[in-house]
Amino acid sequence: MEFNFIPNLLHSTQTATATLPTREQIEEKYKWNLKDIYESDDKWDKDFEWTNKNLIRFSDFKGKLSSSPSVLYACLMLDEEIGIKLEKLSLYAMLAKDSDMRVSRYHAMDDRIKNLYARALSESSFIKPEILSIEENQLRKWIEENQELKIFEHYFDDILREKPHTLDSDKESILALSSEIAQVPYNTYSIFTNADMKFPFIKDEFGSDIQMSHGRYYAAMYSKDRAYRERAFKAYLTPYKEYVNSLNSLFTGNLKANIFYAKVRKYNSAREAALSKNNIPVSVYDNLVETVNQNFAPMYRWAKLKKELLGVEKLHPYDIYVTLFDQKYERKYNYDEAVELVLNALEIMGDDYHNSLRKAFNERWIDVYETVGKRSGAYSSGTTYGVHPYVMLNWTDLLNDVFTLAHEMGHNMHSYYTGLTQPFHYANYSIFLAEVASTFNESLLLDYLIKNSNSKEEKLHLLERYLNNITSTFYRQVMFAEFEQTVYEKTEKGEALTPEELCNLYSSLFQKYWGPSMFVDDEESFTWSRVPHFFYNFYVFQYATGMAASETLAHKVKTEGKPAIDSYITFLKAGSSDYPINVLRKAGVDMNSPEPVLSVTKKMNSILDELENLL
């Protein structure tokens, strides 16, 4: 049994207004329609009770899977039936909770489904060990002779691959029961930083008093008022600094939980365990970090140019995102305008893809605006079998929001096509593939905007946007990946990670990635404590590999046309029917090679050349 959720919090922004609107003040068309999942909370409760009562049916199959192919198939069908219910229940509870994190009812529902899911994992934990107990030749024979089992062939291959790391059924049951406890650090972190943490009030760029928030911080980082940026930067990180000991405890608790599971399953490291789930070689991770460490020159070049164009003595972290050019050419984009831009940019993908996008926009799959109590950031819900995917935004009318929309709709279409095409047990895809679809859309959007720019100044802004995208989606994520690798390795060696050590490590990496033009403020060293992705267990490196792959695929679409488009749509439909490395290889990208990584660093240099020629 698998649980599918693809969180993504990149590119979150928010307007700096005195007070946030309530959910009731937002037009219905800008709020996701949860009735597509359940008509009411009561319907959710009924499905919950059905699932709760039917978990006992797993006991009918325990100890019997090796008896016949029909028994094995019947058990897999029950696992699928339960899994579909759990995914719908979880999706509804998560989206309802994230809509307003002050509502205790939906926190309770979210807790209930997590408890139920833990029970389901425990009740079904015998399945993989019993499949592994079947003699492999016998299992292969059953697959060949029974058409019903044939569709599970890759599923069985994946189980057999993990045989050295799979325990007996009793131990698997214990580990499944412990999964709820392992989620405590992240769940506590999420509630604390989104609902309980209080930010200070500051003067905005117009002299008005505003309370800092997650979204307002991001919006402030684009302000041309440097003093305001500095105030916002320091105010935003103040509570993280004040509560660093508690945040450190949650952070290290999450590390230790993942290390525990890796050791119990006899992996060499938590990193190997995390990557093994999708059969990603550790060498892919190492290749990414090492190749980037040998190619900091474009980043240093960009930092030096930023410093010169801003005319500052020292470049600070709060100078990273502000435009270098005249803001009168920096447009605001309301959501409806952005929808049309994304549709126009992706028209190159053909009618089928384009019509699917329109369906998502027209049928309320997206929650657009920040409201009181709403979760910060942006994400796509991933594939939930039998239900369309959802997208959460926090819209602020910035160009960055337009790219966030394109990014999340890349995830959304990936989930949509996979859910339409694959059976339940393949109707998900790894994060390794997910970030290809999202950055692919961003690349096509940027190309469209540059081609349709009306002036030199507008083109400069867009080229700058491209460079900032590479900075945040590629280099920054590799920096996060190197930080994550280091803290796990230190913990696995038995070293205690104090807040001071984490701050020093993060600060030194930030300096290394930005180079001599950057001055690292003390506040920046606490940024490790505000990155929720560090709780996702070796997640962030896939943003960078995804961008490297998407640059290759976007180039193919632009130069080869329909054959490349068809190949890309096939990629979106593949789900987990093959290992992600193979899915990408079939689409024309080999992530075992440094070439896709180098393609991004070379692209950054070429964009810098183009920008400097315009200056």
- Concatenate the DSSP letters of all residues of 488-534 into one string: HHHHHTT----HHHHHHHHHHHHHHHH-TTB---GGGGGGGGG-GGG
Handedness of CA 306, 311, 313, 318 (dihedral sign): negative
Using CA atoms, how far apart are residues 516 and 550, in angstroms rounded to an integer? 30
Bridge partners, 290 (sequence order): none
Q: Give the count of beta carbons closer than 10 Å to the beta carbon of residue 615.
A: 10
Q: Which two tokens stand for residue 335?
A: 């959501």
SS3 55: helix
Q: Is 347 an active-site residue? A: no
pLDDT at 552: 87
Q: Which CA distances in Å does 271 have to 274, 277, 279, 534?
A: 5, 10, 12, 13
Task: Answer whether residue 17 shows pLDDT above 50.
Answer: no
Q: How confident is the model at residue 215 (pLDDT cuts 50, 70, 90)?
A: confident
Question: Is 1.10.3470 the CATH classification of the domain at 332-461+547-583?
Answer: no
Please tell me the chain's helix, strand, coil percentages from 3-state DSSP, rounded to the nearest 5: 70, 5, 30
Please compute, for residue 196, the number of CA atoms within 13 A of its CA located in the half-sphere on the CB side: 8
Among 18-27, 146-155, 227-236, 299-308, name the one with the lowest average pLDDT: 18-27
Q: How confident is the model at residue 430 (pLDDT cuts 50, 70, 90)?
A: confident
Q: Which CA distances in Å does 370 have to 99, 193, 384?
A: 9, 16, 24
Could you report the per-residue pLDDT of 85-110, keeping only the tens digit for each? 999 999 999 999 999 999 999 999 99
pLDDT at 72: 98
Handedness of CA 529, 530, 536, 541 (dihedral sign): negative
Place of tokens 């960078």: 544
Catalytic residue among 87, 130, 370, 408: 408
Task: Answer whether residue 6 shows pLDDT above 60.
Answer: no
pLDDT at 330: 67
Phi, psi of 349, deg, nearest 5: -80, 0
Using CA atoms, how far apart are residues 77 and 92, in angstroms rounded to an integer? 23
User: For the chain, what is the radius of gyration of the CA atoms?
Assistant: 24
pLDDT at 398: 86
Burial 304-327 (b: 16+ CB within 10 A, else e): ebbbeeeeeeebbbbbbbbbbbee
Using CA atoms, how far apart are residues 284 and 289, in angstroms rounded to an integer? 9
pLDDT at 18: 53
Q: How confident is the model at residue 46 (pLDDT cuts 50, 70, 90)?
A: very high
**What's the CA angle centered on 560, arms 554 and 566, to 5 degrees?**
75
Could you report the per-residue pLDDT of 286-345, keeping only the tens digit for each? 999 999 999 999 999 999 999 999 999 999 999 999 999 887 766 789 999 999 999 999
pLDDT at 509: 98
Is pLDDT larger for residue 166 or for residue 99?
A: 99
pLDDT at 16: 39
Task: Judge whether 381 and 5 are in contact, CB under 8 Å.
Answer: yes
Q: How confident is the model at residue 8 (pLDDT cuts 50, 70, 90)?
A: very low
Task: Judge whether 402 and 338 are in contact, CB under 8 Å.
Answer: yes
Share of the chain above pLDDT 70, in %: 97
Using CA atoms, how far apart are residues 136 and 74, in angstroms rounded to an integer? 19
Task: Judge whether 288 and 596 are in contact, CB under 8 Å.
Answer: no
Using CA atoms, how far apart are residues 342 and 399, in angstroms rounded to an integer? 12
pLDDT at 329: 65
Could you report the per-residue pLDDT of 569-610, keeping only the tens digit for each? 999 999 999 999 999 999 999 998 999 999 899 999 999 999
Task: Judge whether 401 and 370 are in contact, CB under 8 Å.
Answer: no
Using CA atoms, how far apart are residues 289 and 480, in angstroms rounded to an integer? 10
Q: Which two tokens stand for residue 443?
A: 């690349």
Task: Judge whether 101 and 373 are in contact, CB under 8 Å.
Answer: yes
Q: Which CA distances in Å does 192 have to 91, 106, 197, 201, 379?
A: 21, 16, 6, 19, 19
Q: How confident is the model at residue 12 (pLDDT cuts 50, 70, 90)?
A: very low
Q: Which two tokens stand for residue 265?
A: 């399953």
Using CA atoms, how far apart are residues 610 and 600, in angstroms rounded to an integer? 15
Among 33-37, 89-93, 119-123, 397-401, name the one with the lowest average pLDDT: 397-401
DSSP string, 393-435: ----SSHHHHHHHHHHHHHHHHHHHHHHHS-GGGS---HHHHH
pLDDT at 55: 98
Bridge partners, 209 (sequence order): 203
DSSP assignment, residue 164? G
DSSP string, 249-275: HHHHHHHHHHHHHHHHTT-S-HHHHHH
**What's the CA angle centered on 535, arms 33 and 260, to 5 degrees?**
130
User: Of 430, 69, 159, nearest to 77 (Cα)?
Assistant: 69
Helix or strand holding residue 467 (H, E): helix 456-470
Which pairing describes strands 391-392 and 366-367: parallel, antiparallel, or unpaired?
A: parallel
Using CA atoms, how far apart are residues 534 and 479, in angstroms rounded to an integer? 12
